[in-house]
Amino acid sequence: MGRRHRRSKVTRVVNLVKKIIAFFFSHIGLCALVVGYALLGAVIFKAVEGPHEAEIQAQVKAAREKAVDVVWNATFRVNRLDSKQWKKTVLDEVKVFKTVCMQSIRKGYDGKEYGKQAQWTFTGAFLYSLTVITTIGYGNTAAKTYIGKTLTMLYAIIGIPLMLLFLTNIGDVMAKIFRFLYAQSIRLKFRLILWHKKRKAAKIRRANSLVSRLTRGHRVKTDSSVDSFGLGAGADVEDLLTARVEMEQLEVVKNYSNPGITSFQVRETAAAQLESVTVPISLVVFTMLGYLGVGTTIFKVWEGWTFLESFYFCFISLTTIGFGDKFPSTSVSNTDEAQEKLVITSIYLLFGMALLAMCFNLAQEEVQNKTRWIADKFRSKDDDDD
């Protein structure tokens, strides 16, 4: 009895683990896993690299303050008339300060002021984590300690495959959603066409009925049918016949005289298009350019860049080229506004790469269909020649 109880417990635990694993590899689970992994990286790299950055900045600040004090004191201690001695004292202290700066640069000092500018804030570390697993690698922020470099390699080994899985999965889901919305737009278009045709057909039927009664010698009082054609209460047979002639000249009667067949043809066309709906490449390119345009506007306002520079940064980032020659430099500070900018930049990159994966998915499908169509065209041509 005890063995059965233990087996049932083990079975429940195994099933629970399977459910957790299945959830993490679902669409929502993958999103949560990637974001959670990036947050974990932010915590780790901030804890490892943050104190090192603060220590180096503090050392440089202390050396600079010491050099200023030495120069100030030398002005009073050294004979003011002896310029050589004063210059020698100041020069020696400047050399000491230069040595401290060079040592700090080798350890990762980048010239930022202690307590005012820092790369390894939580949001900065989060953006660094994203640039690692997305392989963008701007290079403006990099691990300086041996522990940080080792953790970066281990972090990338797990994070890059996870990110590729995320982009493949989410890109496929977004492609299905986009395809569904495109299909709905096609349905809406044909519904509007059908509504327009039915409305025109009903209008023509009222006009034909009205004119046929008048041609048999009946006078018709003003009603809704007359008003619908813009004829006043004093309309007579000649006016109505003139209206009909004008309509016939416009071929309205010819086009809409049989609404049943027309509606059937519209429905057949809609069904044929919805059966094998594919998003046009032009719409895919327009969507991607629109997203790049949004990012271009944002960074142009933030950084004061030109339109081309902003578009260049967004394109280089989303294609994971990441030269690093452009980066939101004004965001590298400890102010709340700068931290918000880093968060928005991270979200823009993460969603943008998923959108890019969706566009590649849709474009690939369209290219495959076009290639298949061309192959069938040539195959049928060869059969005709035979």
Residues 192-246 have pLDDT tens digits of: 877 877 777 777 777 777 667 666 654 444 444 444 444 444 444 444 445 544 4
Between 22-36, 112-126, 278-292, the lowest mean confidence (pLDDT) is in 22-36
Between 99-108, 153-162, 170-179, 261-270, the lowest mean confidence (pLDDT) is in 261-270
Q: Which residue has the higher pLDDT, 21 or 249?
A: 21
320 neighbors 135 (Cβ within 8 angstroms): yes
Average pLDDT of the segment spanning 119-142? 90
134 neighbors 349 (Cβ within 8 angstroms): yes
Q: Please tell me which of 78-82, 125-129, 178-182, 279-283 the model is most confident about, judged by mean pLDDT.
A: 125-129
The mean predicted confidence, pLDDT, of the chain is 78
Average pLDDT of the segment spanning 340-355? 91
pLDDT of 214 reads 63
pLDDT of 163 reads 93
User: Which residues have C-beta within 8 Å of that of residue 60, sequence separation ≥ 6?
Assistant: 100, 101, 104, 109, 114
Which tens digits make up the pLDDT trace of 361-380? Answer: 888 877 887 787 787 777 77
198 neighbors 263 (Cβ within 8 angstroms): yes
Q: Give the domain ranges of the chain.
A: 30-173, 182-275, 281-377
Residue 114 burial (C-beta neighbours within 10 Å; 0-12, 13-18, 19+): middle
Q: For 250, which DSSP code?
A: T
Q: Which residue has the higher pLDDT, 10 or 312?
A: 312
**Taking the model in full, what pTM does it have?**
0.71
Between 54-63, 186-195, 296-305, the lowest mean confidence (pLDDT) is in 186-195
Which tens digits make up the pLDDT trace of 52-75? Answer: 888 888 888 888 888 888 878 877
Question: Hey, how many other C-beta atoms are within 10 angstroms of the C-beta on 54?
Answer: 14
pLDDT of 189 reads 79
Average pLDDT of the segment spanning 169-184? 87
50 neighbors 122 (Cβ within 8 angstroms): no
pLDDT of 221 reads 45
pLDDT score of 97 more than 80: yes
How far apart are alpha carbons 49 and 249 in whole angstroms?
Answer: 81
Amino acid letter, 25: F
Is there a shared CATH topology between the 30-173 domain and the 281-377 domain? yes
Average pLDDT of the segment spanning 351-357? 93
- Return the closest-CA partner of residue 353 out of 297, 303, 295: 295
Is domain 281-377 given the CATH code 3.40.50.970 in the classification? no
Q: For 335, which DSSP code?
A: S
The label of the residue with tokens 């202290």 reads: 93
- Return the closest-CA partner of residue 34 out of 156, 162, 129: 162
pLDDT of 219 reads 46
3-state helix, strand, coil in the chain (%, to 5): 80, 0, 20
pLDDT score of 327 more than 80: yes
pLDDT score of 356 more than 80: yes
pLDDT of 257 reads 44
Angle between helices 281-303 and 307-318 (to 10 degrees): 120
CATH architecture of the region 30-173: Orthogonal Bundle (1.10)
Alpha carbon of 281 to those of 284, 286, 362, 374: distances in Å?
Answer: 5, 8, 8, 16
Tell me, rounded to whole angstroms, the distance of Cα 173 from its chain centroid: 14
Average pLDDT of the segment spanning 293-319? 93
pLDDT score of 133 more than 70: yes
Average pLDDT of the segment spanning 270-288? 75
Average pLDDT of the segment spanning 326-350? 80
pLDDT of 229 reads 45
Average pLDDT of the segment spanning 134-150? 89
The label of the residue with tokens 């959670």 reads: 36
Counting Cα atoms < 13 Å in the Cβ hemisphere of 87 gives 4
pLDDT of 110 reads 76
How far apart are alpha carbons 124 and 101 in whole angstroms?
Answer: 24
How far apart are alpha carbons 153 and 149 in whole angstroms?
Answer: 6
Angle subtended at Cα 48 by Cα 53 and Cα 31, rounded to the nearest 5 degrees: 115
Amino acid letter, 150: T
How far apart are alpha carbons 362 and 169 in whole angstroms?
Answer: 13
Alpha carbon of 238 to those of 17, 143, 351: distances in Å?
Answer: 85, 90, 66
